[in-house]
Amino acid sequence: DLQMTQFPSTLSASVGDRVTITCRASQTISNWLAWYQQKPGKAPKFLIFKASTLESGVPSRFSGSGSGTEFTLTISSLQPDDFATYYCQHWDSYSWTFGQGTKVEIK
Amino acid sequence: EAQLVESGGTLVQPGGSLRLSCAASGFTFNYFWMHWVRQVPGKGLVWVSLVESDGTKTVYADSVKGRFTVSRDNAKNMLYLQMDSLTVDDTAVYYCARGQWGGFDVWGQGTVVTVSS
Name which of A60, A56, A62 is nearest A75 in CA terms.
Answer: A62
pLDDT of A5 higher than 90: yes
pLDDT digits (tens, 9 = 90+) for A23-46: 999 999 999 999 999 999 999 999
Q: Which residue of A has its CA nearest to B6?
A: A43
Q: Among partner residues A38, A98, A100, which is closest to B47 by beta-carbon distance? A: A98
DSSP alpha helices (H): ranges in chain B? Answer: none
B46 neighbourhood in chain A, CB within 8 Å: 98
Give the count of Cβ contacts less than 8 A between chain A and B.
61
Number of Cβ within a 10 Å radius of residue B89:
11
Cβ distance B90 to B113 under 8 Å? yes
Element (H, E) at B110: none
pLDDT of B42 higher than 90: yes
- The residue among A46, A58, A95, A100 with the most chain B CBs within 10 A of its CB, best to mutate, is A46
How distant is the Cα of B48 from the closest Cα of chain A, in angstroms?
A: 9
- The residue among A96, A97, A102 with the most chain B CBs within 10 A of its CB, best to mutate, is A96
A10 neighbourhood in chain B, CB within 8 Å: none
Residue B27 confidence class, pLDDT cut points 50, 70, 90:
very high
How much is the pLDDT for A70?
98
Cβ distance B60 to A94 under 8 Å? no
| CB within 8 Å: A101 and B101 | no
| CB within 8 Å: A36 and B45 | yes
Task: Assess B63–A contact: CB distance below 8 Å, yes or no.
Answer: no
How much is the pLDDT for A17?
97
Provide the terminal-to-terminal Cα distance of chain A, rounded to the nearest Å: 36
pLDDT digits (tens, 9 = 90+) for B56-106: 999 999 999 999 999 999 999 999 999 999 999 999 999 999 999 999 999
CA A91 to CA A73: how far, in whole Å? 17
B105 neighbourhood in chain A, CB within 8 Å: 46, 49, 55
pLDDT digits (tens, 9 = 90+) for A53-96: 999 999 999 999 999 999 999 999 999 999 999 999 999 989 99
How much is the pLDDT for A93?
86
Query: Average pLDDT over chain B, rounded to whole?
Result: 98
